[in-house]
Structure 1
């Protein structure tokens, strides 16, 4: 009788974690979001630069109807980074950094952008500035103009459809709102 010795197979690891600073991850999420809504690459770079320098802390994306009234609205904002940390993300299989932070976040950004595009809305952007900076100086530095204060149609109000905060970085928030007729 012969003895057969089997060796356990050696596991092959295909997961290769990529370490990214929280600041870089958030700047990339901002860029991915603005790109989904059709913002030009140069404008995206300006927004990311402003975010990295602490001059921009969020953005509101307005979907305006033909009368210039808000029909859909999305917002992406970031809590202040209290202590710089790094995120270990799986970027394999062509996964974007936003997907690696949260697939749910990525899906909701795409859903929101596609909703506005499908409705053929005029998409406008308004940046959020932290309270501790000179807003006029920040606008001048990045070539931005003050928002014209978009509003909902008379008899309509903003209703939140969803809000997402990813578990890997709870300082990132994304929400989508739609105009609803008041009763």
Structure 2
């Protein structure tokens, strides 16, 4: 991908190093559109979808939302804050956006099941659809899909890998019960 990108674009892609592996952040001048670990299997198709949306005008570099999320991730990984205030571009169905909003209400250090999320959005029979919306999330950590587990308490699918999900949940134990309002 980097070989065909210039230094200008409606969306700009930049790499962010984290203790759990490199991530890619793609943002416009005003919003973060994608934040994923670079080894996520769906990353190539997610980037292709964004490129199509901006008619190929994806470049290498950084806009303000990428700089902001970089600072917020640094604070997260060193145990200072689990709050993310970077403006997000949420592209998805109304149902998916409702699921993502509910995910953002899960406090750090807390987990919920897919069925609990379905109940909380008023769609108790939509557990599988909640799982699909969870998997379609393109804003890792910021929309904390890693906080969703199986009804039996088991770790279930995570695009960044189950080992990473486990590590994120362990890291977030530090934040449990802390006021995370900026």
TM-score normalised per structure 2: 0.28
Task: State the structure with more CA Rg.
Answer: 1
Q: Larger % of helix: which?
A: 2
